[in-house]
Amino acid sequence: MSYSAAMRARLSDIAQQADVSEATVSRVLNDRPGVAPETRQAVLTALDVLGYERPARLRKRSAGLVGLVVPELDNPIFPAFAQIIESALAPTGYTPVLCTQTPGGVREDEYVEMLLDRQVSGIVFVSGLHADTAADHDRYRTLIARPLPIVMINGYAPGIPAPFVSCDDREAAELAVAHLVALGHRRIGLITGPDRFVPVQRKVNGYKTAMRRLAGVDDDELAELTELSLFGVEGGEAAAGRLIERGATGIVCGSDLMALGAIRAARQRGLAVPADLSVVGYDDSPLMAFTDPPLTTMRQPVAAMAVAAVRALVDEINGHGAPHSEYLFRPELVVRGSTAVSPHAT
């Protein structure tokens, strides 16, 4: 095959992979204007996927490293955040350094020291110690004073002068309760994590507000229907067992994994979900549409939140100074098969 024929074959492959014309591929490879940024990125991605080397003029030099500190990856919502943050960073030239915390493993402060040694340009913290009201937040003020740009996802601390990006946990709990009340439930329980965490406090607040307003429940009954447990399937299962024994017909959960634990607790007691017990999760993490039954849940707008966090961090790095306030993103109720009309509804 001649050189020109090989080049045409390569252009054809790239065009097909990127779903653009060969002329567009040619313009990108020759670094000519008139191509939309997203189209240019699609062509470059196609080059990488097909194993072709980028022309020297198109090889983007790394703008530097960015730390990304996330909790354990057992909960699929955290890998989802990490993946989208990485994708959002790619066009900026920054490369994320993923730091995953595990129980008994490397602590957040140790990761931060490692990241500082690597001279990162900034750090994104996802559900870190900033969300823990019992933690000392001076660690973040020290980073800002260096100065090192930081952005926090999910968990607001008013004393830290940095951008925060959060899902509105209070509204999520209110919407979940409203959904169950509309289905005729009144004995609606709440399962979530330890109350020292800001997102937990907000969910409890939203839950109690909605239960008083929509179900006419008093404080004594609310105390009986609120269960704070450990995050995860096991914590959800244990807490749900106690709520089922107290006559709950619907349960709002602080995470999808806790909701899966609640479903397990119901089945161990011979109850059917949703015929006997309705369960609402939180996150809409990957694969929740394929559980048995498919999980009704409050969806965090992970993509929008991750992109906002990256934009704020890059603005901070570039000296543009993103506002030091909290950006609240609205959750979305996703109704699937784990909720139904209350068995006690008339």
CATH topology classification for 11-58: 434 Repressor (Amino-terminal Domain) (1.10.260)
**84-106, pLDDT tens digit by residue?**
999 899 888 888 999 998 777 78
pLDDT at 34 over 50: yes
Peptide bond before residue 96 is cis, with ω within 30 degrees of 0: no
| Tokens of residue 27, six digits | 């313009």
30, exposed or middle or buried, with CB in 10 Å at 0-12, 13-18, 19+?
Answer: exposed
Residue extents of the structural domains in the chain:
11-58, 64-167+301-330, 169-299
CA 338 to chain centre: 21
Q: What letter represents residue 143's amino acid?
A: L
Q: Is the pLDDT of residue 1 over 50?
A: no
* Residue pair 14/44 in contact by the 8 Å Cβ criterion: no
Residue 165: pLDDT band by 50, 70, 90 thresholds? very high
> What is the model's pLDDT at position 58?
66
Q: How far is CA 223 from CA 3, 204, 246, 250, in A?
A: 76, 11, 12, 16
Kindly write down the DSSP assignment for every residue of 42-108, as one continuous string: HHHHHHHHHTPPPPGGG-PPP-EEEEEEE--SSSTHHHHHHHHHHHHHGGGTEEEEEEE--TTS--H
What is the rounded average pLDDT of the residues 15-42?
86
List, in sequence order, every residue forming a beta bridge with 151; answer none if it has no partner: 124
Q: Determine the pLDDT at residue 154.
A: 96
Q: Is 201 helix (H, G, I), strand (E, B) or coil?
A: helix
Q: From CA 331, how far away is CA 77, in angstroms rounded?
A: 14
Over residues 316-329, the mean pLDDT reads 89
Mean pLDDT along residues 284-308: 94
Domain range 64-167+301-330, CATH class: alpha beta
Return the sign of the alpha-carbon dihedral for residues 144, 145, 147, 148.
Answer: negative
Share of the chain above pLDDT 90, in %: 71
CB 251 within 8 A of CB 277: yes
Q: Is the pLDDT of residue 345 over 90?
A: no
pLDDT digits (tens, 9 = 90+) for 125-155: 999 999 999 999 999 999 999 999 999 999 9
Model confidence band, residue 4 (pLDDT cutoffs 50, 70, 90):
very low
pLDDT above 70 coverage of the chain, percent: 95
Task: Please tell us whether the domain made up of 169-299 is placed in CATH 3.40.50.2300.
Answer: yes
Fold match flag (64-167+301-330 vs 169-299): yes
Predicted confidence at residue 61, as pLDDT, reads 52
Model pLDDT for residues 242-295, shown as the tens digit of each residue: 999 999 999 999 999 999 999 999 999 999 999 999 999 999 998 999 999 999
